[in-house]
Amino acid sequence: MASINKLSLSAKIFIAMILGAIAGLALNIAGNPEWSQIWLIDGVFKVVGQIFISLLKMLVVPLVFVSLVCGSSSLSDPKMLGRVGGKTIGLYLLTTAIAVCLALSSAIIFKPGVGAQPISKVDTQIAEATPFTQVLIDMVPTNPVAAMADGQMLPIIFFAVLLGISITLSKEVGVRVASWFNDMNAIIMKLVTLVMGFAPYGVFSLIAILAATSSADSFLALGKYVGLVFAVLFIHALVVYPILFSMLARLSPMKFLFKLRAAVLFAFSTASSNATIPVTLETVEKRIGVSNKVASFTIPLGATINMDGTAIMQGIATGFIAQYYGIDLSMSQYLMVVVMVILASIGTAGVPSVGLVVLAGVLTQVGLPAEGIALILGVDRLLDMTRTVVNITGDSMVTTVVAKSEGELDLDIFDDPKAGVIYDR
Ligand code: ASP
């Protein structure tokens, strides 16, 4: 028992994940007897898993708001915000463009949709991607409290940054308020640490449900599609990011990726970049060494507008669906897909499965049958979990690169394998 307590939190979460998979598979192989369906899958596991996700979501709005007010009120040079914003958005768009181009080329080369035989057809919701002009308009909240109540990230970011800047401009009054926000930030970070203690149980339950309820048949039927999405996700995370990272930050990508492991485990088990914000933020600040000024702005922004993993799935899925229906896409349609996928990822929040729903809008735009989504729905959950890992890795990579370029990265923390005590005690 004592030795279990000595394990770092990420090690505990990892063990919980493996045990959850074993427990779930055992139930799956036993044919999910009625008692386990009632008492475990729809009972204990569901309650614990959902409570864990709710706890994480509970933290997101207060954490992003307070942390971002602290970050923007501590900017000594207001121009820095514009520079950080410009670089961050530029890199977010660039990495998403690389992701979708990689995905489309691999779909063209490997043709996952030719001869695919999906086993079942299911109804799916079809949602239009929000037009980019509307995304811009919606960014300015008419009512910041309503934006917080609805958890809309872009308007919250907008309001918090303006409030932070006003605090700085308000001289002595501002100093008092800024110190209150700083205290509050420390308290919310403590709350994050408390919630993280519950993570191994939550992760165990979420993975157990997944393993108990997934069927291998659907994966086999769509083997080529699933394999290709996995392969491109891995290439993007383990080849494209490291190359960009070492070129732009001139630091070891291995150290960076290794330090990200707690956030990776959270993203994988929750399939939501939004719910993972508290962990991503703590990780890049405490483990990697990015200052709060930069991270409090770029991480929530990235969770909302930067979704490289999602773009990869959407690119390959578009190719897959076109091939399945025997439709040849022209070069201009491919270009349209690239632009649509980038714009669509900007307007969508990082929550589970949203990538698939948005894909419907992309398909309609390029004239492909949106019902095609039903073909890949059955295998999406595991892909969703994996692409969420890529999404948050991209956010953290860009954040670190931008922080380094602004002199806002503490290299002592970056180089210290033990920095960031809360996850790896
Ligand atoms: N689940 C993804 C995220 O939260 C979005 C998606 O691809 O569905 O980042």
> Structure tokens of 400?
């670190």
Distance of alpha carbon 420 from alpha carbon 116, whole angstroms = 46
The whole-angstrom distance between residue 184's C-alpha and the CA centroid of its chain comes to: 25
For residue 99, give every residue at least 6 positions away whose Cβ sits within 8 Å of its Cβ, in sequence order, or none. Answer: 236, 240, 308, 309, 311, 312, 315, 390, 394
Q: Per-residue pLDDT averaged across 74-89, rounded?
A: 85
Please work out whether the CB of residue 302 comes within 6 Å of at least one atom of ligand 1. Answer: no
pLDDT over 80 (residue 130): no
Report the atom number in ligand 1 closest to the C-alpha of 357.
Answer: 8
Tell the residue nearest (CA) to atom 1 of ligand 1: 352
Q: Per-residue pLDDT averaged across 200-224, rounded?
A: 86
Mean pLDDT lowest among 8-17, 158-167, 311-320: 8-17
Q: Per-residue pLDDT averaged across 381-386, rounded?
A: 93
pLDDT over 90 (residue 423): no
Mean pLDDT lowest among 257-266, 380-389, 398-407, 413-422: 413-422
The domain ranges of the chain are 2-415
Please work out whether the CB of residue 202 comes within 6 Å of at least one atom of ligand 1. Answer: no
- pLDDT band of residue 124 (cuts 50, 70, 90) is very low
DSSP classification of residue 352: T
Tell the residue nearest (CA) to atom 6 of ligand 1: 355
Topology adopted by domain 2-415: Proton glutamate symport protein (1.10.3860)
pLDDT at residue number 125: 46
Please work out whether the CB of residue 147 comes within 6 Å of at least one atom of ligand 1. Answer: no
Query: How high does pLDDT run on average in the chain?
Result: 89
Report the atom number in ligand 1 closest to the C-alpha of 275.
Answer: 4
CA 293–ligand 1 middle distance (angstroms): 25
Q: How far is CA 153 from CA 96, 181, 369, in A?
A: 19, 19, 31
DSSP classification of residue 371: G
- pLDDT band of residue 422 (cuts 50, 70, 90) is low
pLDDT at residue number 347: 65
For residue 178, give every residue at least 6 positions away whose Cβ sits within 8 Å of its Cβ, in sequence order, or none. Answer: 70, 73, 74, 167, 168
pTM equals 0.88
Q: Tell me the sheet residues that pair with 409.
A: 290
> Structure tokens of 24?
């779930």
For residue 301, give every residue at least 6 positions away whose Cβ sits within 8 Å of its Cβ, in sequence order, or none. Answer: 88, 89, 92, 153, 154, 157
CA 351–ligand 1 middle distance (angstroms): 5
pLDDT over 70 (residue 240): yes
For residue 318, give every residue at least 6 positions away whose Cβ sits within 8 Å of its Cβ, in sequence order, or none. Answer: 104, 107, 329, 337, 341, 359, 362, 363, 366, 368
DSSP classification of residue 327: P
Please work out whether the CB of residue 355 comes within 6 Å of at least one atom of ligand 1. Answer: yes
